[in-house]
Amino acid sequence: MRTAVQAATLAGFGYLGYRLGLWLAAEYQVSPLNVLYLTLVGLLTAILVGPRLAYLVERTVHAWRQIPPELPLAVATGSLIALIAAVLLTTLLAQVPGFRWYHSLLLALVLIALFSAVAVANRHLFRRAVAETGPQGGKLLDTSVLIDGRVAEVMELGFLEGPVFVPDFVLKELQGLADSNDPLSRAKGRRGLETLARLGELGVRVLDTGLSGEVDDALLKLARARGMAIVSNDSALLALAKVYGVRGLSIHALAHALKAPYQPGQAIRVKIQKLGKEPGQGVGYLEDGTMVVVERAADDRGEWVEAVVTQVIQTQLGKMVFARKR
């Protein structure tokens, strides 16, 4: 978008400079070179103001996307009814002596403000219409990725593009977890809400759908109806998405794909944090979270050790590295 705005600014200012040069040449018989000079002035002015104008356009678009989708629909409906009423009243009042066009304009503005205020106050009535004709395409975040939290960093780095939404029923599930009596569930819910707050600053907004029932079913139904992809860490949900013909994206899978590969014979340095299951084993973790089991390192708890990779095993939770102390 920024490139398009800058290109349009360049073309517009260049054309204005060109037309001004032609007008001066015809009106005051000045040198035709002034056409070239003023065209260059217009282009240089566009280069100066183009980036700022593009930034303002991006901020405007971003602010527009933060508006709840039912709000513009409510205002448009209220304004439509107000204008129809203004036409009828203007027709009747036109017979009154002294009634002028500015009276009609003032009447229309008052009616638009009045009807729009009533429609906005009852905007919940428009949510179902928005759900049926809402945005198509994009990505839906489920509860698991919001609790996980890494999706915010993925978006900040630009690896999750396109419009991203959180359905209202997912938000309700997070709120239910945050209000739970169970400390673990309460902590998960609050972490999910904190992640959602970070995502709101990145342009992610809550999508009012009017759907209810089991969250996974509603998520699959919404994604299939609107051609959206689901971003989740729930393996069962992602498996169901394939059955439904819905594209599924996993943050876990992305994290595993980005982990550095470890090969037998490779030297590593790891801090031993606890004892292993077998005698003499020490367990540590690499920077990417990979668990390392080191032989003959039980006495080095709390210390950094040099080790050589002997075996790498892929598990459901990720890779597990076995090593031998050097």
DSSP 41-101: HHHHHHHHHHHHHHHHHHHHHHHHHHS-THHHHHHHHHHHHHHHHHHHHHHHHTTSTT--H
SS3 state at 68: coil
Q: Which residue in this structure is represented by tokens 């979270």?
A: 289
Between the alpha carbon of residue 306 and those of residues 8, 64, 73, 150, 201, the distances in Å are 60, 55, 64, 30, 43
Degrees, nearest 5: CA angle 218-223-227: 160
Single-letter code of the amino acid located at 131: A
Q: What number of other Cβ atoms are within 10 A of residue 291's Cβ?
A: 18
- Residue 23's pLDDT is 86
Q: Is the pTM of this model over 0.85?
A: no
The pLDDT, as a whole number, for residue 315 is: 72
pLDDT of residue 310: 92
Task: For residues 251 and 219, give the distance between their C-alpha atoms in angstroms, rounded to a whole number.
Answer: 17
Q: Which of 259, 273, 276 is nearest to 322 (CA)?
A: 276
Residues 257, 124: Cα–Cα separation, whole Å: 43
Intervals of CATH 3.40.50.1010 along the chain: 139-256
Pairing of strands 267-275, 205-207: unpaired
Given this structure, which CATH class describes domain 262-325?
A: mainly beta
Instruction: Give residue 113's pLDDT.
Output: 93
CATH architecture assigned to 139-256: 3-Layer(aba) Sandwich (3.40)
The type of residue at 120 is V
CA gap 295, 276 in Å, rounded: 9
Interval 23-73: pLDDT, tens:
888 887 777 788 888 888 888 998 888 888 888 888 887 676 666 667 888
140-170 per-position pLDDT tens digit: 999 999 998 888 888 888 888 778 999 888 9
Q: Which residues of the chain have pLDDT under 50?
A: none
Residues of the chain with CATH 2.40.50.140: 262-325
In what helix (H) or strand (E) does residue 235 lie, and over which residues does it extend?
Answer: helix 235-244
Q: Which residue has the tokens 């065209």?
A: 39
The helix/strand/coil state of 189 is: helix
